[in-house]
Structures are given as structure tokens and as C-alpha cells.
Amino acid sequence: MAKGDKKPGLQRVEGSARKALQEYAVEYDRIKEEELPVSLGFSARLNMLWDLADVVPSQIEGRTLSILGINSKWRESDVRKWLQKDVLPPRLEFHNIVKFLVGQLQDSHNVQRWEAFLLYGSPIVSSPVKHIMYREDQSRRDIATMIFAQITDKYEIPPSAYEADEVFQRCLTFMHKFNIYELRDFQSGHMEPFKHYMFPSD
């Protein structure tokens, strides 16, 4: 690069006219939000981590009340929001919950990565436990079984037309792709893409 030449990455910045400070203030005021955006799927991902940690019962077996026994300072209404309404705990509480749950997992896991995954989900943050998420979690295998049954019933696919184990694994894989951790996460709009993925045309 010749002497005096500007670096390519800096030319646009140096050559552009900077706005007046007041313009930035107006722009900031225009785009700011009064509340943090909802972290869609947070509750499902948090429940998945509770499932993997295996320290409290499932949701249908009294999970909320059991969690209250871990920290008496938590309020039932708050815990239910964390588990059901995609509401995040306060930042420090969130960190401590994740640190506690990750500490119960058998393999070595990064707490910060788990925090990012719970907050944003995939594909923004890939799952920290791709290799065990569905293999070891019976509740999601039960959900996959129900999805399997719905699709074969809706599209009238006979058992002779597929290899059950292979199609079941495809269902689990696609559940992961679509962040389906609970049966309520599976919507009518998922039927068609699941059908094509589970039963691809030759």
C-alpha cells in the first residue's frame, strides 16, 4: 500500500458526514424500547435444561413447587413465568440458575454458552448438547412419538412404506431444528415440513 493511502476499511467512515449529536439523540429516542423483547422459546429451553439436570420432577409432576424448595426466596408466580411465559429471571438470578443446573450435567459444559443458548436459541446459538439432548430425554422422545403418529395418520402413510427407526430419528432431528421441546411447540404449520423431512420422496 502506497504511503498516504487510507486503509480500505476506514475510507467509508472518514469520508462520510457525521450526523449532528442531536440527530443521534432523536434516532436513539425513536428506536429505543421500553421493555426487552420477549425471548421466544426461552421457557421451553429452560425446561429442557431442568430435564437434563434431573433435579426436579417434570412439569406435569409438580416441577414448579419442587423448584421453590431449592430457593425459598423465589415466588411461585415468578417461577411459573420463567417456566411457562418466556419471562427471564433477573440477570444475576438467571446466571445462578444456569450455573446450578449446568453443574448437575455429567459432561463439562460452559455456563456462558448455556446462558446464550437459553436466551437466544438456535440457530443464533447452537445447542450445547446436540449429542445427548434427545438420546437421553425421554419426554421429548414421547413427543416425537406423538408427532410421528399425527403425521402418519393425517397423510395416511402405511407402516409398510417406511423404516420406523430411521423415520423416528429424522423426527427427533427436525424437532431440534425447530426448537420443539414441548408438544405445544408443535403447530399445524409444522405438519407439512415434518412430513417432507421424515418421508422424503425418492
pLDDT averaged per 10 residues in sequence order, the chain, 202 residues: 51 62 94 87 87 82 92 96 92 98 87 94 79 58 89 91 83 81 84 90 61
Q: What integer pLDDT is reported at residue 160 of this predicted model?
A: 85
Q: What integer pLDDT is reported at residue 108 of this predicted model?
A: 79
Which residues lie closer than 8 Å to 48 by C-beta, 6 or more apart? 133, 137, 140, 181
Q: What integer pLDDT is reported at residue 195 of this predicted model?
A: 93
Cα separation, 175 vs 169, whole angstroms: 10
Q: pTM for the full model? A: 0.58
Cα separation, 115 vs 123, whole angstroms: 14
DSSP SS3 for 105? coil
